[in-house]
Amino acid sequence: MIRIAVVGLGKMGLSHHAMINAHPRVKVAAVCDATGYVLDVLNKYTGVRTCTDFDAMLAEVPLDAIIIATPSSMHTKMVNAALAKGLHVFCEKPFCLDTAEGEAATRTATEKGLVNQVGYHYRFVGAFQEVKRLLDAKAIGEVTHILAEAYGPVVLRPKGSSWRTQRAQGGGCLYDYAAHPLNLVNWYFGEPTTVGGTVLNKIFSAETDDEVFGTLFYQDGKSAQISVNWSDESYRKMSTKITIWGTAGRITADRQECQVYLRDTATPPAGYQPGWNSRYTTDLTEPVWFYLRGEEYSAQLDYFVRCIEEKRAHDNVNSFASALATDKVISMMIADAERGPAPTSAVAPVVRAAPRKWWQALLGR
């Protein structure tokens, strides 16, 4: 049995707790949160050991691993303390708000040979995994551009205050929503060399961004565009969509399905044909031991458990190192947005005179 503690009992923490507690080879040894109320209710009704002091918990409770789901601004401190104790760490996204601190934590985890994973669950969604397989197989030829979008109804009025509504705490559309499509783009394309045209706009929030747009540039001429808005009520829940263009076709994927158009010039992978192809979540999803809110959430925790059991601390999916790459893109976008629009905006645009129409010539105008 792997002894795990869950820290931070917000939306993500509670759902992680429920899933990992149901895992047949895991024992939840303690849960930890700053607010005693939720803890007391949990203890009263489920008997789980509860702690309000994180350091005291690390000192007193024998553990093998930890799941950290606290506000992002607290991640670094807790990750470091857990690593120092020799614990395997699963941390929620975004990983670290300060990339230098993230780098140090990544180094420590690697040196100590501890399993390290960050909760970018989209890498466990069947349709997005299929995209990765298709790209690796060069199914759509040379890829030129990716459009990564995410929309959903989170902040819909100028009200409310929790850590998620404050940029300094790691809240906001960029950290909360855009981090996911950015992470997918990194997975498919690698790390960008530069970013440009970043827009981090407030719509309803006072202290953070509600919409995120920007362009990522790559060494080989590829580019990616990000379009994210968490104040869009027309979506029932968060909806992430990836569109990728290549010389031999196009891929569109969301959580439910992967649609692929292959040109006659493409070499279709097994099971694909020229023209339109669709793969649905029903074919692409592997069963999980326990379902709460999508197979991907269960699958990523099971993967974490298996990495611990099989002592696979290196080169795992969603390692600290790969999450750090996403943190770096986020930092680049913040810096780019703070710098403001690029200077070309001040240059008078070149206006090319439109050719005269036949009737203008006729009228001598």
Residue 151 or 320: the one with the smaller Cβ distance to another protein is: 151
Write down the residue that tokens 């100028």 correspond to. Answer: 158
Residue 292 or 317: the one with the smaller Cβ distance to another protein is: 292
Q: Does 72 bind another protein (CB under 8 A)?
A: no
The distance of closest approach from Cβ of residue 159 to another protein in the complex, given in angstroms and rounded to an integer, is 7
**Contact between residue 88 and residue 108 where contact means Cβ atoms under 8 Å apart:** no
Residue 39 or 66: the one with the smaller Cβ distance to another protein is: 39
Q: Does 341 bind another protein (CB under 8 A)?
A: no
Q: Does 359 bind another protein (CB under 8 A)?
A: no
Alpha helix locations (H) across 310-357? 320-339
Pairing verdict, β 88-91 and 116-118:
parallel
Q: Distance between CA atoms of 288 and 290, rounded to whole angstroms?
A: 6
The distance of closest approach from Cβ of residue 32 to another protein in the complex, given in angstroms and rounded to an integer, is 15
| Binding test (CB under 8 A) with another protein, winner from 80, 292, 316, 328 | 292
Q: Which of 263, 277, 326 is nearest to 130 (CA)?
A: 277
3-class state of residue 164 by DSSP: helix
Q: Does 194 bind another protein (CB under 8 A)?
A: no
Q: Does 47 bind another protein (CB under 8 A)?
A: yes
Q: Does 162 bind another protein (CB under 8 A)?
A: yes
* Paired tokens of 308: 């611990």
Residue 112 or 250: the one with the smaller Cβ distance to another protein is: 250
Q: Distance between CA atoms of 135 and 253, rounded to whole angstroms?
A: 12
Q: How many residues bind another protein (CB under 8 A)?
A: 49
The distance of closest approach from Cβ of residue 156 to another protein in the complex, given in angstroms and rounded to an integer, is 8
Alpha helix locations (H) across the chain? 11-21, 36-46, 54-60, 75-84, 99-112, 126-136, 173, 179-189, 281-284, 295-309, 320-339, 358-363
**Contact positions toward another protein, by CB under 8 A?**
10-11, 14-15, 17-19, 21-22, 35, 37-38, 40-42, 44-48, 153-156, 159-160, 162, 164-165, 236-237, 239, 241, 254-257, 280-283, 287-293, 295
